[in-house]
Amino acid sequence: MNESFLNFESKPEQIPTLEEVRGKLKELIEGEYEEGRNLSDEEGLYLLKAKVPPPGGGSPHEWKEYADMRKGCHEECKILQTGIDVADWKDGSVEWGEIVVECTDGEWRLSD
């Protein structure tokens, strides 16, 4: 039997801090944004939302929202991958969304 398999030890997940997530949001978002929901548990930050108004002061019913979410089962949701996604909102409904960056073992990378 493969010894490396038998000696496998999982290392604890490295959870991004609030400061790291804010830094990544500043890299992704050009201009101003409004920080929204910010939720943590005993392990650290698991949700941070950032709302970006439309360019040029467009309709207040349209905006872009970035959401940092940590992998795991949380009170509000289950998340499969730690990362930041972005969604376009219009009249209270999501029009479009995708994951833009993922974080694995403390390393951020652009999504495929």
Residue with tokens 């960056």: 101
Residue 9's pLDDT is what?
53
**Which residue, 45, 51, 57, is CA-closest to 92?**
51
pLDDT confidence of residue 10:
57
Reported pTM: 0.82
Give per-residue pLDDT as tens, 14-70. Answer: 889 999 999 999 999 988 899 999 999 999 999 999 999 887 777 778 899 999 999
Q: Is 56 helix (H, G, I), strand (E, B) or coil?
A: helix
